[in-house]
Amino acid sequence: MARITVLGGTGYAGAAVVAEAAGRGHEVRSISRALPPENRQIKGVAYIAGSVTDPVFLESVAGESDVVISALSPRGPMLGQVRPVDSDLIELADKLGFRLGVILGAGSLFVQEGGPRLADLPTFPDAFKAEADEMAEVLSDLESSPVGVDWFGVSPAPGFGAFAPGEALGRYRLGGNVVLSDSNGDSFISAPDLALAIIDEIERPAHRRERFTVAY
């Protein structure tokens, strides 16, 4: 059993990770700006409210963890704030020794070996470019982190999101830095199956200091 702390634990991706981790018997803490209603809390999960942009609070919740998952999204008031928080997490992981996992988004994935990135295509929605650019910078920060930092990054399929929730199929495929598509050219993963892949990675580490992608 691992002590897993999920930042953004009430968000779309984070809530799925919390549920999967708790369901497997891990000790889970969900961190968010506000507590969810009691009827949406999972029994046995510790829900903690606070601002992850506060370095003191961030260290206090990360300090007693075996694994910290950053499921933060740089949108709304968090636009421009996720990279500094994840940078602080890199320093804390180096200092405290926990494993760091970051959900990066799909924009930094390549459409084929050698590029271009998905976010560089003219068809990529303008509304999400700032978010994609910030998470690409987070990936760069991870890749240049001190060699002692044990991290992994996860890029869901481009079709991942609350706009197309799908259902839990209990399966997934793993890739590297290139978008994974099915035989129809679609690239999708549900939140429960993304969480399945993430907790599998925690329980059976296969990606040390690298990013991988998850799709059907």
**Residue range(s) defining the domain that contains residue 69:** 3-215
Q: Which residues does the chain have with pLDDT short of 50?
A: none
Answering whether pTM is above 0.85, one says: yes
Collapse the DSSP code of 4 into the 3-class scheme (helix H, G, I; strand E, B; otherwise coil) and give the result. strand
CA distance 18 to 48: 13
User: What single-letter amino acid sits at 216?
Assistant: Y
CATH number, domain at 165?
3.40.50.720
Angle (deg, nearest 10), helices 82-96 and 55-62: 50
State residue 114's pLDDT score: 84
User: What single-letter amino acid sits at 75?
Assistant: R
CA geometry: angle 94, 35, 56, nearest 5 deg: 30
- Number of structural domains (the chain) is 1
CA distance 194 to 197: 5
State residue 115's pLDDT score: 81
Who's near 166: CB < 8 A, 6+ residues apart? 188, 189, 190, 191, 193
